[in-house]
Amino acid sequence: MHNKAWFFGDSFTFGDGCRVGYEYYEKYPTLRENIWTDLISEKLNLEQVNKGIPGNSNGYILKQLIENLINFKSGDYIFLSDTLPIRVLYPNKETKTVEPLTTDILLGFNDTENFDLDKKVSVNKFLSNKEEKKTAVEYIYQSVVGKETSWSNFYNEQFSSIQNFLLSKGVAVYTWSYKLWAWNSMSPGPPKYESIGKATRGKIDDGHWSWNGHKDFYTDFVKRIEKKDYTFKFPLI
């Protein structure tokens, strides 16, 4: 039975920007390298299962973990990241399922009367009219914004419980955090790893990691694996 390397998280786990179809990938072919999940899977000689979803939420990451509990085997590795606590779950009107609502699009726009969300397709499948969009923005500002620490603690306690359970079953679970790429009040400083924007000298406005960023993150993470340092803390190494 072959063991696997499982990856759970958001766009930084998925590899946004460094995949086929993205502007950075298509316009800079000479720079292409593997992303960090590829590098770790190769290093450990394990089959990769990447469950990263752009715009993912902590609630949905938790759902993904629970759904796959039956699939994890002793000897597997899991790499688990939390994400921005402002992201929430919301019913998708098209699929009739509950999915992550990328609230990053909604936040920063207090003027809900004048901000036009009609062109935001990723929002329209959740919020079909202006009144519903306004209500969602108000809910997020009242219940989530300013309370990010409480939400982060809520989900990380559950992630920690699952981590401890799986460690007891012989599954190596390593956690890390969105705080390594999000420069905000919950982060200790500017992002450490090179972004696509920086790699392209601003030609592409994208805060996701460049291939150099992925490689540097991988290098730091390997040091944790070598020390069996399962739980994330600042600094990464």
pLDDT digits (tens, 9 = 90+) for 141-193: 889 888 989 999 999 999 999 999 999 999 999 999 998 887 654 555 667 89
Residue whose entry in the numeric block shows the structure tokens 């899977």: 41
CATH class of 4-86+149-227: alpha beta
| pLDDT at res. 126 | 77
Share of the chain above pLDDT 70, in %: 85
What does the alpha-carbon distance between residue 199 and residue 13 come to, in Å, rounded to a whole number? 19
194: pLDDT strictly greater than 60: yes
Which of the four pLDDT bands, split at 50, 70 and 90, describes residue 123? low
| pLDDT at res. 74 | 98
Share of the chain above pLDDT 90, in %: 64
Q: List Cα–Cα distances, 94 to 91, 97, 98, 223, in angstroms.
A: 9, 8, 10, 44
| pLDDT at res. 93 | 84
| CA dihedral sign, ordered 28, 53, 205, 114 | positive
Domain ranges within the chain, ordered by starting residue: 4-86+149-227, 91-143
Phi then psi for residue 110, to 5 deg, are -70, -25
75: pLDDT strictly greater than 90: yes
What does the alpha-carbon distance between residue 188 and residue 182 come to, in Å, rounded to a whole number? 10
Q: What single-letter amino acid sits at 226?
A: E
| pLDDT at res. 122 | 56
Q: Which of 51-55, 70-74, 108-112, 128-132 has the lowest mean pLDDT?
A: 108-112
| pLDDT at res. 135 | 83
| pLDDT at res. 88 | 87
| pLDDT at res. 119 | 43
| pLDDT at res. 81 | 97
Which of the four pLDDT bands, split at 50, 70 and 90, describes residue 124? low
The whole-number average pLDDT for the span 122-148 is 80
What does the alpha-carbon distance between residue 6 and residue 77 come to, in Å, rounded to a whole number? 6
One-letter-per-residue 3-state SS of the chain: CCCEEEEECCHHHHCCCCCCCCHHHHHCHHHCCCCHHHHHHHHHCCEEEECCCCCCCHHHHHHHHHHHHHHCCCCCEEEEECCCCCCEEEEECCCCEEEEECCCCCCCCCCCCCCCCCCCHHHHCCCCCHHHHHHHHHHHHHHCCCCHHHHHHHHHHHHHHHHHHHHHCCCEEEEECHHHCCCCCCCCCCCCCCEHHHHCCCCCCCCCECHHHHHHHHHHHHHHHHHCCCCCCCCCC
| Global confidence as pTM | 0.89
